[in-house]
Amino acid sequence: MIRNVLGAVVALVGAAAAVQSPFRRWYDTRLGRDYRIQDLFDGITGVSSSVMASILLPFLFAALLTLVGVVLRSRTAVALAGLVALGFTVLWMVRLGQAESGLTLDGDGSGLGWGVAQALAGGVLILLGALLMSGRRRAARPGRNAPEPFPVPPDDRPDTWPPTQEPGPAAYTSQAPEPEADPYTGPDPYTGPGRHRATSGDEDTAEYPVQGEVPPGQGDDRYRPPHP
């Protein structure tokens, strides 16, 4: 953004200098607006020209192109405007050199004037403004490395997925200690049929009959006490 603003200011200053240059002295006492635009292609003559038919016209076009390039943030348009300003100035110097058999620059005011220097400086400033501008950023097409609208912050933890090797069975085992197995796995003798577990402190461990069973000593001689 700052580069676009700075480049636009420099380019507009150069365009203003280029437009103002034809109203200054270009060679000897002759102003730049006195040279016809067609003299740049047919040869320099002594015929005067109207303002809108003079070499002011290409500089106005360069200034308009500079303004369009600044509004659209187009470096190409601004650079083209600078080339137009420099190109017509150099073309005028070539044609005048052919007509005068050479160009002179004297300290007494004869020869090339400040208008030519101002036109050259304006073209250079326009080109410099195009170099300073960053231009318009092109929107990335979807599917072609389009940047994410909200970048994801990097994770401080190391990336461990996908794993470099297949995890073994130990990777899925619980780290909690396993309960100890009961050393006695047989049937509980105190919870079988016809038995009950005595309460703590009860020393009576006599077996109680279950419904349907014959108590010892009844109905069986094997359980009768011996005759005294």
> What residue has token string 């009961």?
182
CB contact at 8 A, 72 and 106? no
Q: Cα(78)–Cα(61) distance, rounded to whole angstroms?
A: 12
Q: One digit per residue, pLDDT tens: the chain, 228 residues? A: 888 899 999 999 999 999 999 999 998 888 999 999 988 888 888 888 788 889 999 999 999 999 999 999 999 999 999 999 999 999 999 998 888 877 777 666 678 889 999 999 999 999 999 999 987 766 555 555 555 555 656 655 555 555 555 555 555 555 556 666 555 555 555 555 555 555 545 445 445 555 555 555 555 555 455 555
Q: How many domains does the chain have?
A: 1
* Residue 45 falls inside a structural domain: yes
* Residue 99 falls inside a structural domain: yes
Structural domain boundaries, residue 126: 2-132
* Residue 174 falls inside a structural domain: no
Q: What is the pTM of this model?
A: 0.59
* Residue 30 falls inside a structural domain: yes
Q: Calculate the alpha carbon distances from 227 to 191, 220, 221 in Å.
A: 36, 15, 12
* Residue 36 falls inside a structural domain: yes
- Helix 56-72 vs helix 75-100: angle between axes, to the nearest 10 degrees? 170
Which DSSP state fits 157?
S
* Residue 91 falls inside a structural domain: yes
* Residue 31 falls inside a structural domain: yes
